[in-house]
Amino acid sequence: MNRFYLTTAIPYVNASPHIGFAMELIQADARLRHERNKLGKEQVFGLAGTDENSLKNVRAAQEAGEEVADFVTSHAQEFRSLWELLNLSFDGFIRTREEKHIRGAQKLWEACKPEDIYTKTYKGLYCVGCEQFYTEKEIEGGVCPEHKKPLEEIEEENYFFRLSHYQSHLEELIEHDTLRIVPTTRKNEILSFIRQGLEDFSISRSQERAQHWGVPVPGDESQVMYVWFDALSNYITGIGYADETDLYKTFWEENPQRIHLIGKGILRFHAVYWPAMLMSAGLPLPTELFVHGYITVEGEKMSKSLGNTVHPKALVDEYGVDAVRYYFLREIPSHGDGDFSHERMEERYAELANRLGNLVSRVAAMSVKYFEGKLDDVQIDWSARQNVLDERMVQYDYKAYLDEIFAVVDEANEEVDKKEPFKLVKQDPPAAKQVLSTIASQIRWIATALAPVLPQTSEEILHRYGKVILMGEGMFPRRDAQQG
């Protein structure tokens, strides 16, 4: 049985969700909906969640003057609320403070080979923002290369994982696409990192430094798990690894497609640390990583100091959910970095209104006016185009997927302009009916093809273009009319 399991990364809950993570959720949701259409609902599972055991979260709670547990719970609810806001179809949501996750993370620790985990005193430079140690060769001027903030010098005894033992295994897996990394640039980047030599990494922190927040190390209450060891395990704890549920067996142990959709900043953890941990524990590995880029806003990195953070709710309130989904899938390069601009958002919204919305409205209006909405059923072979769409989705090329659909939108609009059924009906009603029937069939295919990416729009079009075509309000109202 062909099944499909897809996860997103789990974000820290130290701040409200921004558009960068919203984009990741939308990308994942589009693929999940596409696979459900192909394989059936029961054969697909999508998991998202929140990473709550980070020191970053503890410090954010302290700054807010709140209890850590209350702080992470309220922020986790903010992230969960994105499901309704963005019309997401995930099947599971895992919080790393949940008991099933804590038990699962501890079970994974104990499943790792005893010789792969050892203790040593370590001194290094640490970034709380990344929850990561950096070596001298990775930094300049003592600051984090990602956050541009000073690193903290830390010395303590921790547990370490023998990552160096898995270097050749990891290189072979990635080089031969047993663990497929998309796009190829990210595959090459991680192979280069591995070939520089892998160092063992710390997998625990003292209770004192973690401020008594985190998953306790099994058999040693003086230590908590390093947040990345604990967080990465969510991909199996979220589907019941702790109790080896049927869900876990179905979608992890027995499943040929185990996919993580992540941002490029955390590639190392998912392509190196996580597979090594699973190999040590004797568990199946992910089969694929899709790695997206970063989003800037009006050409600038998002930051509180610049005041340019864009919140998903504000965009949805202003433009509607499908226009927001459309922007992030069509405008932002899925394989690289992209930029959000309000001007481009307006342009993409206008594109939806003028090309798609206008087509749907005017063909429905003519069908109802001239033929009471009753047209002929014209059969068109869409198999070649559908194969192209399947290929684009497997490549996570959402822009190309939408380009293919909008090529048909443009063809249909051109047919209306060329054949002018509103004039033709006066001289030759059957010919006008044939023209409108053919275009209506195109519109139904467009709606079906849009289902994974613009589900609300797809549903509305299919409702209007049933056996009897119905009139309806404009799908994407003029922005000046809305604002007026």
| pLDDT number for residue 484 | 42
Q: Do 168 and 254 fall within a single domain?
A: yes
Residue 443, pLDDT > 80, answer yes
- Are the C-beta atoms of residues 50 and 11 closer than 8 Å to each other? yes
| pLDDT number for residue 132 | 72
Q: Do 280 and 320 fall within a single domain?
A: no
Domain around 459: 300-483
> H or E element: which one contains 85?
helix 82-85
| pLDDT number for residue 304 | 62
Interatomic CA distance for residues 184 and 8, integer angstroms: 19
Instruction: Report the alpha-carbon angle 58-106-200, nearest 5.
Output: 80
> For the domain that residue 402 is a member of, what is the CATH number?
1.10.730.10
Q: Do 107 and 201 fall within a single domain?
A: yes
Q: Do 224 and 307 fall within a single domain?
A: no
- Are the C-beta atoms of residues 237 and 105 closer than 8 Å to each other? yes
| pLDDT number for residue 178 | 98
> For the domain that residue 206 is a member of, what is the CATH number?
3.40.50.620
Residue closest to 202 by CA, chosen among 271, 118, 107: 118
Q: Do 284 and 353 fall within a single domain?
A: no
* Sequence-separated (6 or more) residues with CB below 8 Å from residue 422: 366
Burial, 287: exposed, middle or buried (Cβ in 10 Å; 0-12, 13-18, 19+)? middle
Give the gyration radius of the chain's Cα atoms. Answer: 25
Q: Do 286 and 353 fall within a single domain?
A: no
> What average pLDDT does range 442-452 have in this prediction?
99
Structure tokens at 85: 């806001």
Domain boundary among the residues 292, 317, 347 is at: 292
Interatomic CA distance for residues 295 and 340, integer angstroms: 7
| pLDDT number for residue 147 | 65
**Edge-first strand listing for the sheet containing 295-297:** 300-301, 295-297, 338-340
Give the model confidence (pLDDT) of 190-223 as tens digits. 999 999 999 999 999 999 888 999 999 999 999 9
Global pTM?
0.92
Q: Do 321 and 209 fall within a single domain?
A: no
Higher pLDDT, 82 or 140: 82
Domain boundary among the residues 266, 292, 318 is at: 292
> What average pLDDT does range 430-449 have in this prediction?
98
> What average pLDDT does range 182-197 have in this prediction?
98
- What is the tally of structural domains in the chain? 2
Domain boundary among the residues 238, 269, 292 is at: 292
Q: Do 118 and 240 fall within a single domain?
A: yes
Q: Do 312 and 288 fall within a single domain?
A: no
Q: Do 107 and 177 fall within a single domain?
A: yes
Q: Do 278 and 350 fall within a single domain?
A: no
Q: Do 463 and 338 fall within a single domain?
A: yes
Other Cβ atoms closer than 10 A to 162: 17
